[in-house]
């Protein structure tokens, strides 16, 4: 490796200048190799035709974004039998021929994308000195080989658009880990079904309300329970992979509000004298989440009946509510509440503590609309 100890470069590349501007380094790099191989016939040539500069993003250096101005050369191919007369020297293992970023940066973005998600990944990358967008993260992930080795029980599937809505692909998300597992270059039932067939461990499929992915799940994962996301929050990729469906809190016990860490439930509480049920739910979510920008979408006719013992039953009226605010504004005012989290629908099912609530959730929210 040449370059410097701070910015290793492949052999034959030399740093000639470094410019620093605010939080960005521009590094002038010169290729000094005396010959290169024609990519077509593989004959070596030392006959330089010209030089040109490639502008590449590279991994950050000390937290600063790093741009390389890499001067490479064009060579004449002297092999009379070769159709290529002029070729550009390549730097394999460092940068792909047409890429605008180095391979090591692409790998860093892939790692961020796989462990976070589109827009969250872009924010994290920015903190690390990598200026990127969720679309670039997607493209980097798409270059990875498939996800054959990954186990997925709860699959989220949705489409996303490249090129401003003119071309669509399919995103496959491991809902439990909030992880993009794979991306397919098209939005077709057949390819999605083929993908699902290679993952017989899938138990739940959370999908949009269209017919393509419903058909894909029926054919590719007939063993799985399908849920159509009623919250319409999976409109596009960014939203699909951010967990924004439900609010859950530490549980109240039948004997009253006790701090029982680790038990998750929806916000709830009792109706005070003079209050309607609607007023009560709005007050409760305000107290339990510290935010008031909620809207009631629906009041369910069916109630949940909790039986605490043979003498005592409690009926709970359920509402579907939408949060219109920013998640950063959520701070519980009730002391009994440890955490407020937004989960996707299949995850909520996994986390809910009470079987009655789980049953209600499956029947009313998480149900398979095809059944
Ligand atoms: Zn050649």
Residue 68 lies in a domain: yes
CA of 98 to the centre of ligand 1 (A): 19
Number of separate domains in the chain: 3
Query: How do residues 299-330 score in pLDDT, each as one tens digit?
Result: 888 777 766 666 666 777 887 777 777 766 77
pLDDT at 243 over 60: no
CA of 246 to the centre of ligand 1 (A): 61
Query: How do residues 103-128 score in pLDDT, each as one tens digit?
Result: 999 889 888 877 765 567 778 888 88
- Mean pLDDT over the full length of the chain: 76
Residue 122 lies in a domain: no
CA of 1 to the centre of ligand 1 (A): 28
> Are 208 and 270 within one domain?
no
Q: Please, what's the b/e burial string for 125-146 (b: 16 or more CB within 10 A of its CB; e: otherwise)?
A: beeebbebebbbbbbbbbeeee
pLDDT at 147 over 80: no
Lowest mean pLDDT among 6-20, 46-60, 156-170: 156-170
280-301: average pLDDT: 80
> Are 350 and 273 within one domain?
yes
CATH assignment of the domain containing 220: 3.30.420.10
Query: How do residues 155-176 score in pLDDT, each as one tens digit?
Result: 888 877 665 566 778 888 877 6
**Closest-CA residue to 356 (of 288, 320, 307):** 307
Confidence (pLDDT) at 310 = 62
Confidence (pLDDT) at 233 = 33
CA of 37 to the centre of ligand 1 (A): 8
Helices (H), 182-230: 189-197, 211-220
Paired tokens of 57: 């993003």
Residue ending a domain, among 60, 86, 101, is: 101
> Are 366 and 268 within one domain?
yes
Contacts of 355 (CB under 8 A, 6+ apart): none
Ligand 1 (single-atom ion) residues, CB below 5 Å? 38, 40-41, 77, 79, 82, 84
Residue 302 lies in a domain: yes
Contacts of 258 (CB under 8 A, 6+ apart): 252, 336
CA of 340 to the centre of ligand 1 (A): 63
Confidence (pLDDT) at 119 = 63
Residue 119 lies in a domain: no
CA of 42 to the centre of ligand 1 (A): 6
Lowest mean pLDDT among 92-101, 283-292, 349-358: 349-358
> Are 306 and 365 within one domain?
yes
pLDDT band of residue 234 (cuts 50, 70, 90) is: very low
Residue 185 lies in a domain: yes
Residue ending a domain, among 62, 77, 101, is: 101
pLDDT band of residue 73 (cuts 50, 70, 90) is: very high
Residue 170 lies in a domain: yes
Residue 50 lies in a domain: yes
> Are 305 and 222 within one domain?
no
For residue 185, the enclosing domain spans 154-230
Residue ending a domain, among 230, 249, 278, is: 230
Query: How do residues 175-190 score in pLDDT, each as one tens digit?
Result: 766 667 777 878 899 9
Confidence (pLDDT) at 356 = 77
CA of 15 to the centre of ligand 1 (A): 29
CA of 83 to the centre of ligand 1 (A): 7
> Are 95 and 187 within one domain?
no
CA of 84 to the centre of ligand 1 (A): 5
CA of 198 to the centre of ligand 1 (A): 42
CA of 87 to the centre of ligand 1 (A): 8
Residue 136 lies in a domain: no
Confidence (pLDDT) at 4 = 73
> Are 31 and 97 within one domain?
yes
More confident residue, 296 or 106: 106
More confident residue, 352 or 7: 7
């Amino acid at each position: 490796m040449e370059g410097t100890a701070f910015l290793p470069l492949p052999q034959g590349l030399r740093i000639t200048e470094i410019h620093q501007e605010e939080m960005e380094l521009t590094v002038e790099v010169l290729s000094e190799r005396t010959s290169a191989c024609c990519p077509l016939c593989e004959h070596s040539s030392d006959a330089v035709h010209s030089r040109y500069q490639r502008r590449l993003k590279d991994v950050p250096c000390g937290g600063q974004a790093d741009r390389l101005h890499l001067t490479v050369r064009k060579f004449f191919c002297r092999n009379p039998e070769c159709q290529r007369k002029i070729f550009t020297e390549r730097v394999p293992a460092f940068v792909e021929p047409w890429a605008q970023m180095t391979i090591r940066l692409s790998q860093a973005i892939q790692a961020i994308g796989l462990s976070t998600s589109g827009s969250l990944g872009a924010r994290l990358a920015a903190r690390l000195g990598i200026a990127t967008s969720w679309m670039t993260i997607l493209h980097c992930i798409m270059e990875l080989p498939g996800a054959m080795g990954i186990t997925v029980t709860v699959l989220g599937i949705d489409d996303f658009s490249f090129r401003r809505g003119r071309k669509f692909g399919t995103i496959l998300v491991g809902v439990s880990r909030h992880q993009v597992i794979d991306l397919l270059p098209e939005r077709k039932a057949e390819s999605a079904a083929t993908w699902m067939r290679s993952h017989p461990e899938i138990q739940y499929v959370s999908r949009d309300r269209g017919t393509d992915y419903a058909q894909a799940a029926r054919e590719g994962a007939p063993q799985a329970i399908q849920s159509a996301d009623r919250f319409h929050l999976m409109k596009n990729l960014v939203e699909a992979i951010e967990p924004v469906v439900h609010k859950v809190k530490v549980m109240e016990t039948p004997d009253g509000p006790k701090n029982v860490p680790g038990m998750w439930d929806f916000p709830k509480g009792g109706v005070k004298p003079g209050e309607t049920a609607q007023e009560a739910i709005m007050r409760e979510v305000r107290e339990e989440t510290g935010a008031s920008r909620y809207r009631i979408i629906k009041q369910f006719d069916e109630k949940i009946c909790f039986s605490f013992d043979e003498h005592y039953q409690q009926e709970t009226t359920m509402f579907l509510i939408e949060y219109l605010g920013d998640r950063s504004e959520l701070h519980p005012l009730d002391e009994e509440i440890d955490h407020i989290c937004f989960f996707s629908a299949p995850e909520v099912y996994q986390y809910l503590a009470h079987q009655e609530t789980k049953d209600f959730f499956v029947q009313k929210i998480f149900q398979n609309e095809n059944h």
